[in-house]
Amino acid sequence: MDEPIVQAIKNGLSGRMSHVSPEETFEGLDWRLAGGRPSGCSHTIWQLLNHMIYWQDFCQKLLAGESPTSPEHAADSWIEDDAPANESVFRDRVSEFLRGIESVDSEVTTGEAFERQLPADAKHSQIEVLMSLIAHNSYHLGQIAQLRQQLGSWPPPSGGNTW
């Protein structure tokens, strides 16, 4: 019973099956495009990346048994800067995001991971936190893929999910 659930979580984290691959989403992306905002778009790729890191870190703290403080307003999880300062800053943040996914993935090896205790004041189970992280990242990675299409930078060099 646990094995299919573990595999489903790993698939969601890594972008297999119906999710966009985190690595492919950023593959070959020129850092200058990360600050581009096509007409009608609420956020840039840079803002989406930082927003995902914010909530991924939050979920990792929950999964580690910590009690992170939720922001007072949803807007507090978004940065104001439209674009990264330079390529190094952009690449560092992409690497941080991908390392966070790898870290969570390495913890999900058996169904026992779902039985670990969250803080006493936690309102959700371990599996709910993992599923929330997967859904959140998948949603925003899809937005980034769409922005890349609008900015003329999709598919990535490896081809991505373009069937």
Task: Establish if 134 belongs to a structural domain.
Answer: yes
Task: Establish if 36 belongs to a structural domain.
Answer: no
User: In the structure encoding, which two tokens stand for residue 103, read together?
Assistant: 């870290």
Q: What per-residue confidence (pLDDT) applies to 163? A: 47
Mean pLDDT for all residues in the chain: 89
Whose CA is closest to 117, among 107, 125, 128?
Answer: 125
Reading phi first (left if > 0) and then psi (alpha if -120 to 50, else beta), residue 78 is in: beta
Task: Establish if 162 belongs to a structural domain.
Answer: no
Of the candidate ranges 13-22, 86-95, 105-114, 134-143, the one whose mean pLDDT is the lowest? 105-114
pLDDT in tens, 22-75: 999 999 999 999 999 999 999 999 999 999 999 999 999 988 888 899 999 999
Task: Establish if 98 belongs to a structural domain.
Answer: yes
Task: Establish if 86 belongs to a structural domain.
Answer: yes
Task: Establish if 91 belongs to a structural domain.
Answer: yes
Number of domains comprising the chain: 1
Task: Establish if 116 belongs to a structural domain.
Answer: yes
Task: Establish if 88 belongs to a structural domain.
Answer: yes
Q: What per-residue confidence (pLDDT) applies to 1? A: 45
Q: Average pLDDT of 131-146?
A: 95
pTM: 0.92
Q: Residue 128 belongs to what domain range? A: 2-30+41-150
Residue 129, domain CATH: 1.20.120.450
Contacts 24+ apart (CB under 8 A), 18-23: 19/134, 19/138, 19/141, 20/138, 20/141, 20/142, 20/144, 20/145, 20/160, 20/161, 21/141, 21/160, 21/161, 22/97, 22/98, 22/101, 22/137, 22/141, 23/98
